[in-house]
Structure 1
Amino acid sequence: MSKGCHVIKLGPNNDDAAREALQESPQFLQVGGGINDTNCLEWLKWASKTLKVLCGIDELLVSKLFEWTKDYDDLKIVYAGGAKSVDDLKLVDELSHGKVDLTFGSSLDIFGGNLVKFEDCCRWNEKQG
């Protein structure tokens, strides 16, 4: 079974259908589209009720992302999903030879998480130069 599939809201009044899809496939689907500064808190609160586990970095995928794009110097990639430690920054950097950037979501303290501190991520980035 695939990991990290998305439900994208493409028009108005899709919220109920998106919530229903997410409810039917917990730990499988993510939602996107139409989420902005006026409604993101609602989605964050809803997600915090349903989120049960952080699956970690898909190391094979990160390695493949480097392999598939190593000849494209101007292309940058951002990996999202599963990061649960500031050490994941080093892991993704090493696996991708610096090609892939990592973003943190629900594990980050500024998004309500308790696994990763924003300040620690900033310090790690500052050390990278």
Structure 2
Amino acid sequence: MKQIVGGSLTRDEAGLRTNFVSDRDAAWYADLYRRDGLTGGHVIKLGPGNEETALSALAAWPGGLQVGGGIVPENAEQWIEVGASHVIVTSCLFDAEGKFLQQRLKDLVSAVGAERLVLDLSCRRVSGGWTVAMNKWQTLTELRVTEATLDMLAEHCAEFLVHAADVEGLCSGIDRELVELLGAWRRIPMTYAGGISRIQDFEEIDALSGGALDATVGSALDLFGGRLIRYADLVERQRGETGAEKA
């Protein structure tokens, strides 16, 4: 299991930066989340050859984890059958140039149902706002992150996952403007990721979003080699609230 700097992803991985390489496998982390009662964690297959690892994690916490990476209509149902609570998709919703493919979304809904589908709208900042990015966040698509986009997609999924790709993995602070934008829209659950570097960031996300957003953290967490946030503190916070964070 690796913890990478998401913002360093490139097409050929030449500039990829790794924060942490664990000596424990994905199943160990999944079992930890199960024992601590944390649901909705993300198992992301970054490239080929990760299927067995993902399967082991889902077996350790059946129904407790979402899976993404290489999900298409043809295999989505299989991942639900082996224990994923939801499948997460981005790139398969677009053609090579970033044009949105409405039929692909309909095919995914037909395969697993909107209630099992998480749309990853991870984005990069552009002039006037944010644009959904695919292919390891290197290709900007035609979809802007706006209330109109969220309204259009909400009927077809259970949740949105939004990484602020420009600050992802840097532990340099959250994208406050993006959090405010997302928090103003409240039709279905949404999880924000990117830049979290201290436990107080969760309070700030709650304040900026009016409590509308969940949040996920990676690089800053001691569980993944970070030194800024203790996993035990997040578990304690989670137990004091209902659904405030995800692993």
TM-score under structure 1 length normalisation:
0.60
Aligned twin of 1:113? 226
Q: Deviations over 1:59-104 (max 9, x none)?
A: 111000012x23x1xx111111110111111111121112111111
**1:1-129 matches, cutoff 5 A:** 7=9, 17-22=11-16, 33-34=46-47, 36=50, 38=53, 53-67=170-184, 69-70=185-186, 72=187, 75-129=188-242
For structure 2, which runs of at least 5 residues remain unmatched after alignment?
1-5, 18-44, 55-168, 243-247
Q: Which of the two has higher C-alpha Rg?
A: 2
SS in structure 2 at match of 1:20:
coil
Query: In the TM superposition, what whole-angstrom CA distance separates every residue of 1:30-61 from its partner, at most 9, and x where no partner exists?
Result: xx73374749xxxxxxxxxxxx9422011111
**SS of residue in 2 equivalent to 1:55:** coil
Identity of aligned residues (%): 33
* Alignment-derived partner of residue 47 in structure 1: none
Q: Deviations over 1:1-25 (max 9, x none)?
A: xxx76858xxxxxxxx4312547xx
Q: Which amino acid aligns with 1:34?
A: G
> How far apart in 2 are the matches of 1:5 and 1:107?
15
- Counterpart Cα distance in 2 of 1:6 and 1:20: 9
Structure 1 unaligned segments of length 5 or more: list them.
Answer: 9-16, 24-31, 40-51
2:8–2:16 CA contact under 8 A, matched in 1: no
Name the structure where strand makes up a greater proportion of residues. Answer: 2
Larger helix proportion, structure 1 or 2?
A: 1
Letter in 2 for 1:54: C
State the alpha-carbon separation in 2 of the partners of residues 18 and 124 from structure 1.
39
